[in-house]
Structure 1
C-alpha cells in the first residue's frame, strides 16, 4: 500500500485536480437523487442513504481493482494511483485557501470555503475562517484519506470520501437534516476520530513553538461541539500563537463557540501566510514517511 499511497500523493502534489468530473461529484449526484426520491427527516432514510452509498462505493472500487488485476502490475499500480489521487486534496486545499490572500474580495473568496455566513465578516473573521478551514481540512482532505488508503487501499480512500461527502452535504443540525443527516454525521465522526488527532500531532511536531502548540492542543482540542474538528484547529492556533474559534453565524443563526488558542499575535494576513507555510513541511514529512516505509518493506 505504501507504493500506491506515495504515487497517489505525488500525482496530487504535482498535478492537482484533473479536468474531468470528480468522483465526489458522482457521489453528490447519488446523494441528491436519493434525497429527491426518499427524503424524510427521519433517521431510517438517512441511514439507508449511508449504507447504500458506502456499499455502492465499495463495490465499484473492488470492481476497479479486479479490472486492474488483468493488467501488468506497473500499469495496474499507476491506474489505481491515479484513481486514489482524486481522493487527496492537498494541492486544491492549499490553492483554495491561498486564494484568500490574492482575491480582490477576500470575503467572497472565503465564502467558497466555509459553511458559515460571511456577509458581516470583518478582516479578522475572514482570516480566522481561512485558517480554521486550512487546519480542519488538512485532516479531512489529506491525512484522513491517506490514512485509509494506507490501511485499505483504493476501497479505503473511496469509502472515506463517500463518508466525507455525505457529511458535507446532509450532516447539518438544520430543520431539514436534523434526523436525516444524523447517521452521516455519526459515521463521519467515527471515521475522522484518529485522523483528526494525527493531524493535530503533525501540526504540533512541525510547529516552531512545539510546546505552545501542544499546550493549546491539550487544553482546547476537545472544546468544540465536533469531537474531531477542534484538535487540528487548536494545534494550529497554538502553532501560530493566535486565537481561533469563537462565535460565528450559520444559516442566519448566531452560534456560540469557544475560543481556541491564545491571542498573542494578531489574526491577520500574516497569520494566514504563516499557516500556509506549513505546506512544504507537510509535503516533506509525508513523502519522507512514505519513502522510508517503502524502503523498510523491501
Structure 2
C-alpha cells in the first residue's frame, strides 16, 4: 500500500509540475556516471560493458542507501512526500505529452520531431512526421511512464531509480554499431529484460482504454519489431487509432527495412496524434 501511495502521488506530481528545471535532474547524474566510466575505461569488449553496468548499478545503489538514511531521519509524512517528489522525477509523462503535442503545433515540424527521433527528418512529409510522433509516443509511454511506475510499485524508489539507470545505459551505449556492439551488449540485454513485462502491460492498457478486442491482437505485429519490446505498444497505439505505423525508414542517409504495425489508414494527421494523447 505504501508503494501504491507513492506511485499515485509521483504520477500526480509529474502530471501537475513536470520537470523541475531549477534542480539538476537525477537522470543527468546517471548519464554523467556512464560517461565517466566510458571515458576512463572504455574497451571494445563485452566484459568491459559488463563492468560498466556493474559500476553504474553499484553507484546508484550506494546513492540510494544514503538517500534512505537521510529519509529515515525525517518524520514519516515528510519522508513520504519527499519520496514521491523524487520518484516523480523518474516519470516522464508530462514531458513526453508536451513534446509530442508541440510537434502538432510547431511551425517547423521537422525541427520539432528531430528532437524526439533519430531518423532522418529533412525529407519527411507531414504525415510521416505525425507517424514518427506516434511511434515515439507509443515506445516512450512504456519506457518513460509505465515501466518506471511498474518498478516503483514493486520495489519502491529503489526500483524506479535502478530501472532508470538500466534504461539510460541502453539509450547511451545500447547501439549496434562499431563502437557499442560489444561494449553496450550487456546494457542492451538488461534493458530488454527490464522492459519485457512493462511493454506488454502498456500495450494492454492502450487496447483496454481504446476498447479494442481481442486485447492481445497487438502481439502479431508487435513481435515483428527489431526490439523484443518496442513493437507492442506501437502496434497497440496503431490499432487503437486505426492507423498503420512503421515501414521503411531512413537513418543517417540509409533506408532501413522495417515492419509495419496496425492495419488502418496510412495518412496520419494531427488529429490522430491528439487522439492518442487524449486516450492515454
TM over 0.5: yes
Name which of structure 1's ranges 245-254 and 218-227 shifts more when overlaid on structure 2.
Answer: 245-254
In structure 2, the partner of 1:77 is 80
Aligned counterparts of 1:144 and 1:201: Cα–Cα separation in 2 = 13
| Aligned-residue offset at 1:167 | 1.0
TM-score (norm 2): 0.95
| 1:228-257 superposed Cα distances (whole Å, 9 cap, x missing partner) | 000000000100111101111223332111
- 1:242 and 1:264 in contact (8 A); partners too: yes
| Structure 2 CA distance for aligned equivalents of residues 42 and 121 of structure 1 | 37
- Which residue does the alignment assign to 1:111? 114
Work out which of the residue numbers 151, 156, 161 in structure 1 matches 2:159: 156
RMSD value, Cα: 1.3
Query: Offset of 1:40 from its aligned partner?
Result: 1.6
2:42 alignment partner in structure 1: 39
What residue is the counterpart of 2:65 in the other structure? 62
Secondary structure of 2:261 counterpart: strand
Q: How does 1:161-172 map to 2 (within 5 A)?
A: 161-172=164-175
Which deviates further from its counterpart, 59-68 or 122-131? 59-68
Is the contact made by 2:246 and 2:259 (CA closer than 8 Å) also made in structure 1? yes
**Other structure's SS at 2:111 match:** helix
Is residue 100–residue 137 contact of structure 2 (8 Å, CA) maintained in 1? yes
CA distance in 1, matches of 2:40, 2:250: 31
Report the CA distance between 1:155 and its aligned residue. 0.8
Q: Which residue of the other structure, out of 145, 148, 159, is the alignment partner of 1:145?
A: 148
Match of 2:12 in 1: 10
| Corresponding residue number in structure 2 for 1:271 | 272
CA distance in 2, matches of 1:101, 1:68: 42
SS at match of 1:54: helix
What's the offset of the Cα at 1:45?
1.3
Shift of 1:31: 1.2
How many Å apart are 1:213 and its aligned residue? Answer: 6.8
In structure 1, the gaps of 5 or more residues are: 280-298
TM-score by length of 1: 0.90
For each residue in 1:15-53, what CA deviation from the matched residue of structure 2 results, as whole angstroms up to 9, or x when unmatched? 100012111111111111111111122111111111110
Question: In structure 2, how many angstroms separate the alpha carbons of the residues matched to 1:243 and 1:265?
Answer: 5
Judge conservation of contact 1:170–1:184 (CA < 8 Å) in 2. Answer: yes
Tell me how far 1:120 sits from its aligned partner: 2.2
Q: What is the SS of the residue equivalent to 2:203?
A: helix
- Structure 2, unaligned stretches of length 5 or more? none
Structure 2 CA distance for aligned equivalents of residues 247 and 140 of structure 1: 23
What are the residue-to-residue correspondences of 1:216-227 with 2, within 5 Å?
Answer: 217-227=218-228
Corresponding residue for 1:245?
Answer: 246
Paired residues, number: 277
Q: Any idea what SS the aligned residue of 2:213 has?
A: helix
Question: 1:213 and 1:274 mapped to 2: Cα distance?
Answer: 19
Superposition pairs of residues 171-182 of structure 1, within 5 angstroms: 171-182=174-185
| 4+ residue runs over 4 A deviation | none
**Deviation, structure 1 residue 264:** 3.2
